[in-house]
Amino acid sequence: MTAAEKIQKILKHLDVNAKYFSEKLGYERPQIIYDILKGKTKRISPELANKMTSVFNDINRSWLLADEGEMLVDKAEEFQLPTGLYYEDDIPERYMTHLVPMAAMGGGLVGFEEEGIRREDCERVISPITGADWAIPVYGDSMEPEYPNGSRVFVKQINPGDFISWGNVFVLDTTNGLIIKVVVKSDKEDCVRCVSLNSSGRYQPFDVPMRTIRAMYRVMACVSAK
């Protein structure tokens, strides 16, 4: 389902127009919603998804970002983190994942000595989504403002041989290290093109040969300290 179709479905469910919906989300002008409805904006950003789910808390964030599940949260499955002292055993296993002990570098290709990571050697952390394969810390500012330095992304592995959802954010596990970028089609054969979100112009797109990519992970959620 496209981003425009999702917004249309939400507006119909809420029985509101785009202007009212935008105002409820805190936007003075509804342009960001109109751009999605007109197809000018192809995806719902994590920032917009966060606004939607904070104001309309029955909307499923995983559905907004990755077509996972249904539009509305299944209240029977919804999990609330315990308040006060709690133990890891109190957290449903589907909300636990492993934190990679290296950074997804926002600025470019960075080499790492590690050839592989064993899950049993990684810290277990709570995920805001179910079934995340890994939690990965982000360093660098090339993916700001949506993925700021020091944030964590929660990812699911995809098979790039089957399908790549162009224009979305991925973590690439390459022979030169981890990269977090928007991935688009490349003009070069057997390559993908990596694009930064930082609008300063300091980070130019670059191509990564598919033969150097060991795994691709779709970014499903981002958590950052305020």
Output the pLDDT for position 90: 67
Token match 């290709």: residue?
A: 109
Q: What is the pLDDT of residues 136-147, one digit of tens each?
A: 999 899 999 999
The CA distance from 101 to 111, in Å, is 14
Output the pLDDT for position 103: 64
Output the pLDDT for position 82: 62
Q: Which two tokens stand for residue 9?
A: 């479905």
Question: What is the total residue count of the chain?
Answer: 226
Q: State the pairing for strand pair 134-139/104-105.
A: parallel
Choose the CATH number for 88-223 among 3.40.50.300, 2.60.40.2550, 3.20.20.80, 2.10.109.10.
2.10.109.10
Q: Quick one: pLDDT band at residue 108, thresholds 50, 70, 90?
A: low
Q: What is the pLDDT of residues 24-73, one digit of tens each?
A: 888 878 899 999 999 999 989 888 888 888 788 778 888 898 888 888 87
Extents of the domains making up the chain: 3-66, 88-223
Output the pLDDT for position 110: 47
Output the pLDDT for position 23: 86
The CA distance from 72 to 214, in Å, is 35
Output the pLDDT for position 30: 86
> What is the DSSP-derived secondary structure letter of residue 152?
E
Q: Is pLDDT of 89 > 50?
A: yes
Query: Which residue, 60, 38, 42, is CA-closest to 50?
Result: 60
Mean pLDDT for the stretch of residues 185-213: 95
Q: Return the higher-pLDDT residue of 55 and 6.
A: 6
Q: Give strand pairing partners of 136.
A: 153
Position 20: which residue type? Y
Q: Which fold has domain 3-66?
A: 434 Repressor (Amino-terminal Domain) (1.10.260)
Q: Is pLDDT of 111 > 50?
A: no
H helix or E strand, kind and range, residue 33:
helix 31-37
The CA distance from 92 to 88, in Å, is 9
Position 61: which residue type? R
**Of the listed ranges 26-40, 67-81, 93-107, 203-217, the one predicted with least confidence:** 67-81
Q: What is the largest CA-CA distance in the chain?
A: 54
**The model's pTM:** 0.62
Output the pLDDT for position 146: 92
